Amino acid sequence: MDAVNLSGTWSKKTRPNNGLTKVADLINDNRTRRVPIVGWVEFHQYTEVATGNTLTVALPVVEAVVDADGEDSHGWAKQVLDMIDALRKERGLGTADDVPAQSGAQLEGQQSFDFDGPDDGEPRQLGEVRLGPDGEHTVPEASGEEILAERAEAAEAGVPAATFSGNDQ
C-alpha cells in the first residue's frame, strides 16, 4: 500500500461517537497542544492509480483520553503516549515527542476534515477543502500527473523530498 488516508465524518445522528467534542475548546485555545486519543478505523475505500494504491479508512469512534481542561485524571494519556512510543520504537522510529508539531495551522497541500459533517446524514466528499470567494469547495484528489508535477516544482524550489508530501499522504 502506498498511502493510507483517513476519513472521519460524523453526521448529526452519529455525533455521540465523536469524543473530541469534550476537548474542542482545549484544542482551539491551545493550537499546538497534542491530545492523546483512542479509537478504531474501518475500511472505507480502496483506489488503484498509476502512481500507487491508496486505502482510505473510516474513523467511526474516537475518544480523547484527557479531561476537557487537559488533565490526565485517569492516567490514560500517559498510557497512550507510552504505547505510541513503544510501537514507534518497534518500527525503528523515535518517540512521539520527535514528531514535529503541525503549528496549529493547516499546512498547504494537506487534507482538511470536517468531523461533524453536514446535518443531512451524508458524509462529505473526500479531498482537500479550500475556501474560495464563494465559499468552501472540495477539491478532488490529485492525479498521478499532478502529484509528479508538484514534486518537481518542490524539488526546483529546493524543498527536501522528506518534507514535501503533496496530496499523496
pLDDT digits 0-9 by tens, 71-86: 999 999 999 999 999 9
Asked if residue 166 belongs to a domain, the reply is no
The answer to whether residue 138 sits within a structural domain is yes
**Is there a domain that residue 17 lies in?**
yes
Confidence at residue 74, expressed as pLDDT on a 0 to 100 scale = 96
User: Which residue from 8, 6, 2 is spatially nearest to 147, judged by alpha carbons?
Assistant: 2
Alpha carbon distance 151, 51 (integer Å): 13
Q: Is there a domain that residue 34 lies in? A: yes
Domain range for 152: 3-156
With bands split at pLDDT 50, 70 and 90, how would you rate the model's confidence at 62? very high
Buried b (16+ CB within 10 A) or exposed e, 120-133: eeebbebbbbeeee
User: Nearest to residue 164, comparing CAs of 155, 156, 1, 149?
Assistant: 155
As for how many domains the chain has, the answer is 1
Q: Could you report how far apart the first and last alpha carbons of the chain are, in Å?
A: 12
Burial of residue 8 (CB within 10 Å: 0-12, 13-18, 19+) is buried
Residue 135 has pLDDT above 80, yes or no: no
Contact 107, 117 (CB under 8 A): no
pLDDT band for position 128 (cuts 50, 70, 90): low
Say if residue 100's pLDDT is above 70: yes
User: For residue 138, what pLDDT is reported?
Assistant: 63
In a domain, 162, yes or no: no
> Would you state the pLDDT for residue 129?
62
Whether 163 is covered by a domain: the verdict is: no
Does the structure show a pLDDT above 80 at 107?
no
pLDDT value for 76: 97
- Is 167 contained in some domain? no
